[in-house]
C-alpha cells in the first residue's frame, strides 16, 4: 500500500530546500510545517479511530502516553511532492496503521518469530513461577528458616549455660587449690575435667543432630532450586538469542541501498549494543520506507503530540530534533549518502562577539558572557571565555573558570587569576556563600507571585545534553523564583538557584511540575527564538583576599533584544 500522502494545499510555489534537513538541530522547512499540520489535523479528526490516549482534553481514561510524530517530505520519481508520516514506538498497542509508514521490523506481528518465541519464553516464566510457588518447596524453605532460627536460639542458650558451668568449675578449682585437703584434689579435678568434656560432647552432639536434620531438608530444597536454575538459564539463553535475532532483523538502508543491522551500527558505541527502542523512532521508519520505494528525501521534521511525560519536558505541537542516543548512529548510516545542511553545532556563533570585562583586580576578574559563547572549550568549538581570558592574561594560572554558564545563557561569569584564589572562591560556591540572581523572560503568564521548585535532575542518557526530572537517580535541584513584571503573554521573573545543576532553571521553568512555562528562546525545552532569554544578572561574593563583600550586576532588557 502506497504510504505517500498528498498535500491538501498547493505547494508548487514553495521552493524546495537545496539540502536535506540536518536532523539533530534544524528550523522546520515550510514544506515540513505544512506536512506536520496536515498530520495534526488527521490526529484530531481520527482520535476515536486511533484509540490512543494522548492525554489531551476530553480523554482522561487509562494510561496517558504523548507521542513523537515525524514527517518526511519526499519527491516521487515523477517529480511529484508528497510526504510520509510516522510515529515513534507503537500507537494504541499496534505498529499497523494505514496512514503511517510501517515499522522497520514489526515486533507485534502475530505470525512473526518474535511473538512465537515470546510465547515460549512466557511459558518458561510460568513454569518458573509454578516451581517457585510449589507448596512442598515453599513449606520446606519455611521449615528450614524455622529450624535455623530455633537452632540459633537453642545454641545461644546452650553456649551460655556451658559458659556459666565453666565459670563455676573455675571457682571450684580455685577453692580446691586453696584448701589443705591434698588427698582429694586430684580426684576432684578429674571430675571437673570430665564434666567439661561431657558439656563439649553435648554441644557437638546438638550441632551434629541439627546438621543431620537440616541436611535432608537442604537436599530437597537444592534439588528444587536446581530445576528452577535450569529453567532460568534456558530462559536467559533464549532471551539473549531472541534479542540478537531482533537486532539482526532491524536492518537499515541508506540511499545507495547499503544495508546495516543494529548490531553493526552500534558495534563501536560505548556499550557495543543498541539501546532499548533503537530503530523504533519516527525518523528511521520514514527514511527506510523512502529508500525502499525509491523516494527522494527532501526535508524532515518531528513534533510532539499530547501530554508531556512526567520526567521529560515535551510541549504539545512543538518541533524537536531527533534523539542522539538512539537515532544518531542509525541516521548517520542512513543519511551517509545524502547531502545535508551543515551541522550548526560545529559552527561558532560567538566568533564575532566581544567579551566585556566588568571587574578586575590582581586576583579575580568578572566578565559579561554574551549568549551563545561557551564558558570552556567544547568538543568541536574551542573558542570560549576560558580561551579568550587565557590569551589576554597568559600569566594567569589555575583553572580560571570558577563556575559556568550554559552556552546560551548570558551574564556574569567569575574567574580567578591564580590557583589559590580559585580554590577559595570554589569553597564559597560549594558552601553556597555566593548569592546569584538570574533574570528570565517566560513564554506565558504566571498566576502566582513567587515560589520554590524542588525537582531532582539527571542527564537524558539517550538524548544528551537534555535533562530529565528523576526522583530515583536525579541530583537535588532547588530554585526560588519571584515575578518581576507581567506582560500580555510573557512574564519577567527572577530566579535564585540554590543548587547549580545543568539546565536547572530551564527545566524548572518548563516542566509541568515546575512553572510549566518555558523560557523564551529555549530550543531544548520550549521554542527557539532570537536568543535564550536567561541572564545571570547579579553575583554577590566575598573577595577571597580582601574579605570585602563584592556585588556585581549587569542589566539586560529582553524586550529590546
> What stretch of H or E contains 106?
none
- C-alpha separations of 64 from 36, 177, 455 in Å: 22, 87, 21
151 burial (CB, 10 Å; 0-12 / 13-18 / 19+) is: middle
> What does the alpha-carbon distance between residue 66 and residue 53 come to, in Å, rounded to a whole number?
8
Helical axes 185-249 vs 135-178, angle rounded to 10°: 150
The grid coordinates listed for 372 are 551563545
Residues acting as catalytic residues: 406
> What stretch of H or E contains 463?
none
Helices (H) and strands (E) in the chain, counts: 11, 17
> What stretch of H or E contains 233?
helix 185-249
Specify whether the CB–CB gap between 369 and 395 falls below 8 A.
no
> What does the alpha-carbon distance between residue 293 and residue 499 come to, in Å, rounded to a whole number?
52
220 three-class SS: helix
Residue 338 C-beta-side C-alpha neighbours within 13 Å: 27
> What does the alpha-carbon distance between residue 387 and residue 50 come to, in Å, rounded to a whole number?
54
Q: What is the DSSP string of 23-54?
A: TTS-PPPHHHHHHHHHHHHHHHHTHHHHT---
Per-residue b or e along 82-91, where b marks 16 or more CB atoms closer than 10 Å to that residue's CB? bbbbbbbebb
Residue recorded with cell 546438638: 206
Q: Secondary structure of the chain: what % helix, strand, coil (to 5)?
A: 35, 20, 45
> What does the alpha-carbon distance between residue 532 and residue 409 come to, in Å, rounded to a whole number?
7
Amino acid at each position: 500500500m502506497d504510504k505517500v500522502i498528498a498535500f491538501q494545499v498547493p505547494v508548487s510555489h514553495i521552493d524546495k530546500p537545496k539540502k536535506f534537513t540536518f536532523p539533530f538541530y534544524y528550523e522546520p522547512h515550510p514544506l515540513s510545517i505544512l506536512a506536520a499540520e496536515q498530520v495534526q489535523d488527521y490526529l484530531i479528526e481520527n482520535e476515536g479511530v486511533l484509540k490512543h490516549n494522548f492525554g489531551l482534553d476530553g480523554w482522561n481514561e487509562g494510561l496517558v502516553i504523548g507521542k513523537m510524530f515525524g514527517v518526511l517530505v519526499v519527491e516521487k520519481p515523477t517529480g511529484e511532492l508528497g510526504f510520509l508520516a510516522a510515529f515513534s514506538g507503537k500507537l494504541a498497542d499496534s505498529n499497523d496503521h494505514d496512514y503511517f509508514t510501517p515499522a522497520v521490523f514489526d515486533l507485534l506481528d502475530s505470525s512473526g518469530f518474535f511473538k512465537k518465541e515470546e510465547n515460549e519464553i512466557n511459558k518458561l516464566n510460568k513454569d518458573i513461577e509454578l516451581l517457585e510457588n510449589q507448596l512442598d518447596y515453599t513449606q520446606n524453605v519455611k521449615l528450614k528458616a524455622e529450624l535455623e532460627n530455633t537452632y540459633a536460639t537453642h545454641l545461644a542458650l546452650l553456649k551460655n549455660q556451658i559458659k556459666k558451668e565453666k565459670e563455676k568449675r573455675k571457682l571450684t578449682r580455685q577453692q580446691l587449690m586453696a584448701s589443705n585437703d591434698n588427698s582429694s584434689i586430684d580426684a576432684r579435678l578429674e571430675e571437673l575435667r570430665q564434666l567439661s568434656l561431657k558439656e563439649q560432647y553435648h554441644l557437638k552432639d546438638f550441632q551434629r543432630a541439627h546438621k543431620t536434620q537440616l541436611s535432608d531438608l537442604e537436599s530437597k530444597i537444592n534439588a528444587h532450586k536446581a530445576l528452577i536454575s535450569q529453567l532460568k538459564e534456558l530462559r536467559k539463553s533464549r532471551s539473549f538469542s531472541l534479542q540478537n535475532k531482533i537486532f539482526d532483523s532491524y536492518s537499515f538502508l541508506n540511499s545507495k541501498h547499503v544495508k546495516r543491522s543494529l548490531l553493526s551500527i552500534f558495534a563501536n558505541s560505548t556499550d557495543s549494543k543498541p539501546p532499548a527502542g533503537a530503530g523504533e523512532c519516527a525518523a528511521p521508519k520514514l527514511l527506510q520506507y523512502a529508500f525502499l520505494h525509491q523516494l527522494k528525501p527532501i526535508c524532515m521534521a518531528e513534533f510532539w503530540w499530547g501530554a508531556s511525560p512526567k520526567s521529560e519536558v515535551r510541549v504539545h505541537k512543538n518541533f524537536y530534533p531527533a534523539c542522539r542516543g538512539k537515532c544518531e548512529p542509525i541516521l548517520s548510516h542512513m543519511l551517509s549518502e545524502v547531502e545535508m545542511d551543515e551541522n550548526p553545532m560545529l559552527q561558532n556563533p560567538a566568533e564575532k562577539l566581544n567579551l566585556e570585562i566588568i571587574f578586575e583586580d590582581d586576583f579575580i576578574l568578572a566578565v559579561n558572557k554574551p549568549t551563545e559563547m561557551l564558558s570552556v572549550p567544547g568538543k568541536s568549538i574551542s573558542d570560549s571565555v576560558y580561551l579568550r581570558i587565557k590569551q589576554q592574561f597568559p600569566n594567569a594560572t589555575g583553572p580560571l573558570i570558577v563556575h559556568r554558564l550554559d552556552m546560551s545563557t548570558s551574564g556574569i561569569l567569575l574567574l580567578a587569576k591564580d590557583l589559590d584564589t580559585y580554590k577559595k572562591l570554589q569553597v564559597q560556591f560549594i558552601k553556597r556563600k555566593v548569592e546569584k540572581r538570574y533574570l528570565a523572560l517566560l513564554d506565558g503568564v504566571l498566576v502566582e507571585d513567587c515560589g520554590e521548585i524542588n525537582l531532582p535532575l539527571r542527564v537524558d542518557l539517550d538524548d544528551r545534553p537534555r535533562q530529565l526530572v528523576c526522583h530515583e537517580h536525579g541530583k537535588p535541584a532547588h530554585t526560588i523564583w519571584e515575578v518581576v513584571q507581567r506582560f500580555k503573554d510573557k512574564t519577567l521573573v527572577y530566579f535564585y538557584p540554590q543548587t547549580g545543576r545543568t539546565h536547572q532553571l530551564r527545566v524548572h521553568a518548563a516542566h509541568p511540575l515546575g512553572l510549566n512555562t518555558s523560557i523564551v528562546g529555549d530550543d531544548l525545552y520550549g521554542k527557539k527564538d532570537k536568543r535564550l532569554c536567561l541572564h545571570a544578572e547579579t553575583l554577590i561574593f566575598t573577595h577571597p583576599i580582601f574579605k570585602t563583600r563584592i556585588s556585581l550586576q549587569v542589566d539586560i532588557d529582553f524586550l529590546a533584544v
